[in-house]
Amino acid sequence: MADPFFLKKGRIEEVVLETEDVKRFLISVDGFGEFKPGQFNMLYVYGQGEVPISISSIRSDLIEHTVRLVGDVTEDLFNLREGDILGLRGPFGSHFPIEKFNGFNIILVAGGLGLADIKPVTEYILRNRDYYGRVYLLVGSKTPASLIYKGEFERWKEKIDLLVTVDRPEENWKGHTGLVTRLFDLIEIDPQKSVAMMCGPEVMMVSASEILIERNFSPYKIFISMERHMKCAVGTCGHCQFGPYFVCKDGPIFAYSKMRYLLKVKEL
Spatial contact of 34 and 42, defined as CB atoms under 8 Å apart:
no
Instruction: Give yes or no: residues 87 and 118 share one domain.
Output: no
The pLDDT, as a whole number, for residue 264 is 87
Instruction: Give yes or no: residues 141 and 256 share one domain.
Output: yes
Q: How many domains does the chain have?
A: 2
Instruction: Give yes or no: residues 26 and 136 share one domain.
Output: no
- CATH number assigned to the domain comprising residue 78: 2.40.30.10
Instruction: Give yes or no: residues 64 and 195 share one domain.
Output: no
Instruction: Give yes or no: residues 160 and 228 share one domain.
Output: yes
What's the start-to-end Cα distance of the chain, in Å? 31
Range of the domain at 220: 98-264
The pLDDT, as a whole number, for residue 229 is 85
The pLDDT, as a whole number, for residue 268 is 82
The pLDDT, as a whole number, for residue 1 is 52
Task: Say if 3 falls within a structural domain.
Answer: no
The pLDDT, as a whole number, for residue 171 is 85
The pLDDT, as a whole number, for residue 34 is 93
**In the chain, what is the greatest distance between 2 CA atoms, to the nearest angstrom?**
53
Task: Say if 1 falls within a structural domain.
Answer: no
Mean pLDDT, contiguous 10-residue spans, the chain (268 residues): 86 97 97 94 95 96 96 93 96 97 98 97 98 98 96 97 96 92 95 97 96 97 93 92 94 97 88
How many Å apart are CA 118 and CA 48, to the nearest integer?
A: 29
Instruction: Give yes or no: residues 166 and 203 share one domain.
Output: yes
Say what the pTM is. Answer: 0.96
Across the chain, where does the E strand assignment appear? Answer: 8-19, 22-29, 40-45, 49-54, 63-68, 85-92, 105-111, 135-141, 161-166, 176-177, 194-199, 222-225, 241-242, 245-246, 253-255
Task: Say if 2 falls within a structural domain.
Answer: no
Among candidate residues 33, 63, 92, the one where a domain is terminated:
92
